[in-house]
Structure 1
Amino acid sequence: MSNRPRRPSKPYRRPRKDPVRILAFEALRAVDERDAYANLVLPPLLRKAREKGDFDSRDAALATELVYGTLRWQGTYDAIVAECVDRPLREVDPPVLDVLSLGAHQLLNTRIPSHAGVSATVELARVVLGDGRAKFVNAVLRKIAADDLEGWLEKVTPPYDEDPEQHLGIRHAHPRWIVSALWDSLGGGSNGMEDLLVADNDRPEVTLVARPGRATTEELLSGDAAPGRWSPYAVRLAEGGEPGAIDAVREGRAGVQDEGSQLVALALADAPLTPPGEGGGSSARGDQEADSRAERWLDACAGPGGKAALLGALAAQRGAVLLAAEKQPHRAGLVARALDGNPGPYGVITADATRPAWRPGAFDRVLADVPCTGLGALRRRPEARWRRGPEDVAGFAPLQRGLLRQALNSVRVGGVVCYATCSPHLAETRAVVDDLVKETGAELLDVRPLLPSMPDLGDGPDVQLWPHLHGTDAMYMALLRRTPS
Structure 2
Amino acid sequence: MSGYDGADRRGPDDRRRSGGDDRRGGTDRRDARGRQRGAARSRGEQSRTAQAPSQRRRWSDPARTAAFDVLREVDGSDAYANLVLPPLLRERRIAGRDAAFATELAYGTLRLRGRYDAVLARCVDRPLDRLDAAVLDVLRLGTHQLLGMRVPTHAAVSETVGLARDRVGAGASQFVNAVLRRVAGTSLDAWLDELRTDAPDPVTAAAVVGSHPVWIARALREALAGDGRDPAELDALLDADNAAPRVTLVARPGLVTADEIRDGAPDGLRLDPGRWLPTALVLAGQDPLSVPAVADGRAGVQDEGSQAVALALAAAPLDGRDARWLDLCAGPGGKASLLAALAAQRGATVVANEVAPHRANLVRKALRAVPDGVVERVRTGDGREVGAQEPGAYDRVLVDAPCTGLGALRRRPESRWRRTPADLTVLTGLQRELLGSALDAVRVGGVVAYVTCSPHLAETRVVVDDVLRRRTVDGVPDAERLDAREAVRTVVTPGADIPLGDREDVQLWPHVHGTDAMHLTLLRRTR
Counterpart of 1:40 in structure 2 is: 83
Residue 456 of structure 1 deviates from its aligned partner by 2.2
Residue 191 of structure 1 deviates from its aligned partner by 3.8
Q: Tell me, yes or no, if the aligned pair for 2:341 and 2:370 is still in contact at 8 Å.
A: yes
Question: Could you tell me which of 7, 24, 27 is aligned with 2:70?
Answer: 27
Counterpart of 1:8 in structure 2 is: none
CA distance in 2, matches of 1:228, 1:268: 20
Question: Could you tell me which of 204, 207, 217 is aligned with 1:169?
Answer: 207
Alignment of 1:372-391 (within 5 A): 372-391=403-422
Counterpart amino acid of 2:323? E
Alignment of 1:423-462 (within 5 A): 423-440=454-471, 441=477, 442-452=479-489, 453-462=496-505
Counterpart amino acid of 2:436? R
CA distance in 2, matches of 1:412, 1:424: 28
Whichever of the two has the greater Rg, that structure is: 2
CA distance in 2, matches of 1:355, 1:454: 40
Counterpart of 2:313 in structure 1 is: 268
Counterpart of 1:218 in structure 2 is: 259
Q: Tell me, yes or no, if the aligned pair for 1:374 and 1:423 is still in contact at 8 Å.
A: yes
Counterpart of 1:252 in structure 2 is: 297
CA distance in 1, matches of 2:525, 2:197: 49
CA distance in 2, matches of 1:471, 1:454: 14
Q: Tell me, yes or no, if the aligned pair for 1:209 and 1:234 is still in contact at 8 Å.
A: yes
Residue 190 of structure 1 deviates from its aligned partner by 3.7
* Residues 454 and 363 of structure 1, relative CA distance in 2, 3 Å threshold: farther
Partner SS, residue 349 of structure 1: strand
Counterpart amino acid of 2:89? L
CA distance in 2, matches of 1:302, 1:232: 23
Question: Could you tell me which of 348, 358, 362 is aligned with 2:378?
Answer: 348
CA RMSD of aligned residues (A): 1.6
Counterpart amino acid of 2:422? E
Question: Could you tell me which of 43, 61, 81 is aligned with 2:120?
Answer: 81
Residue 16 of structure 1 deviates from its aligned partner by 6.7
- Among all aligned residue pairs of Structure 1 and Structure 2, give the percentage whose two residues are the same amino acid: 58
CA distance in 2, matches of 1:397, 1:448: 24
Partner SS, residue 198 of structure 1: helix
Indicate yes or no: 2:239 matched with 1:209.
Answer: no
Counterpart amino acid of 2:245? P
Q: Deviations over 1:319-351 (max 9, x none)?
A: 101000000001000101111131152121111
CA distance in 2, matches of 1:313, 1:460: 29
Q: Tell me, yes or no, if the aligned pair for 1:457 and 1:465 is still in contact at 8 Å.
A: yes
Partner SS, residue 250 of structure 2: strand
Indicate yes or no: 2:163 matched with 1:124.
Answer: yes
Partner SS, residue 423 of structure 1: coil
Partner SS, residue 354 of structure 1: helix
Counterpart amino acid of 1:258? D
Partner SS, residue 365 of structure 1: strand
Partner SS, residue 74 of structure 2: helix
Alignment of 1:30-429 (within 5 A): 30-50=73-93, 55-158=94-197, 162-187=200-225, 189-221=230-262, 223-238=269-284, 240-275=285-320, 295-343=323-371, 344-346=373-375, 347-356=377-386, 358-429=389-460
User: Please, what TM-score do these two structures have when normalized by structure 1?
Assistant: 0.90
Residue 149 of structure 1 deviates from its aligned partner by 1.3
CA distance in 1, matches of 2:398, 2:110: 32
CA distance in 2, matches of 1:358, 1:315: 23
Structure 1's unaligned 5+ residue stretches are 5-14, 276-290
Counterpart amino acid of 2:450? Y
Partner SS, residue 330 of structure 2: coil
Counterpart amino acid of 1:226? D
Residue 372 of structure 1 deviates from its aligned partner by 0.5
Counterpart of 2:7 in structure 1 is: none
Counterpart of 1:10 in structure 2 is: none
Q: Which deviates further from its counterpart, 374-383 or 336-345? A: 336-345
Q: Deviations over 1:294-323 (max 9, x none)?
A: 611000000000000000000000110100
Question: Could you tell me which of 461, 464, 474 is aligned with 2:517?
Answer: 474
CA distance in 1, matches of 2:84, 2:141: 17
CA distance in 2, matches of 1:385, 1:269: 32
Counterpart amino acid of 2:470? E
Q: Which deviates further from its counterpart, 192-201 or 370-379? A: 192-201
* Residues 443 and 371 of structure 1, relative CA distance in 2, 3 Å threshold: same
Partner SS, residue 395 of structure 1: helix
Residue 17 of structure 1 deviates from its aligned partner by 4.9
CA distance in 1, matches of 2:232, 2:498: 16
Counterpart amino acid of 1:192? E
Q: Tell me, yes or no, if the aligned pair for 2:276 and 2:304 is still in contact at 8 Å.
A: yes
Residue 241 of structure 1 deviates from its aligned partner by 2.5
CA distance in 2, matches of 1:156, 1:209: 41
Q: Tell me, yes or no, if the aligned pair for 2:309 and 2:488 is still in contact at 8 Å.
A: no
Q: Tell me, yes or no, if the aligned pair for 1:158 and 1:166 is still in contact at 8 Å.
A: no
Counterpart amino acid of 2:487? L
Q: Tell me, yes or no, if the aligned pair for 1:303 and 1:326 is still in contact at 8 Å.
A: yes
Q: Tell me, yes or no, if the aligned pair for 1:326 and 1:349 is still in contact at 8 Å.
A: yes
Counterpart amino acid of 2:238? L
Residue 159 of structure 1 deviates from its aligned partner by 5.9
Residue 80 of structure 1 deviates from its aligned partner by 0.8
Q: Tell me, yes or no, if the aligned pair for 1:424 and 1:476 is still in contact at 8 Å.
A: yes
Q: Which deviates further from its counterpart, 447-456 or 458-467? A: 447-456
User: Please, what TM-score do these two structures have when normalized by structure 2?
Assistant: 0.83
Alignment of 1:3-14 (within 5 A): none
Q: Tell me, yes or no, if the aligned pair for 1:228 and 1:235 is still in contact at 8 Å.
A: yes
Q: Deviations over 1:366-420 (max 9, x none)?
A: 0000000100001111111111111112220110000000000000011110000
Residue 459 of structure 1 deviates from its aligned partner by 1.4
Counterpart amino acid of 1:318? R
Q: Deviations over 1:26-59 (max 9, x none)?
A: 1000000111110011111011111xxxx23000
Counterpart amino acid of 2:380? T
Counterpart amino acid of 1:177? W
CA distance in 1, matches of 2:82, 2:216: 21
Partner SS, residue 364 of structure 1: strand
CA distance in 2, matches of 1:364, 1:190: 38
CA distance in 2, matches of 1:395, 1:93: 32
CA distance in 2, matches of 1:64, 1:129: 22
Q: Tell me, yes or no, if the aligned pair for 2:447 and 2:522 is still in contact at 8 Å.
A: yes
Q: Tell me, yes or no, if the aligned pair for 1:216 and 1:233 is still in contact at 8 Å.
A: yes
Q: Deviations over 1:188-220 (max 9, x none)?
A: 744422221111111111110011111110022
CA distance in 1, matches of 2:423, 2:125: 33
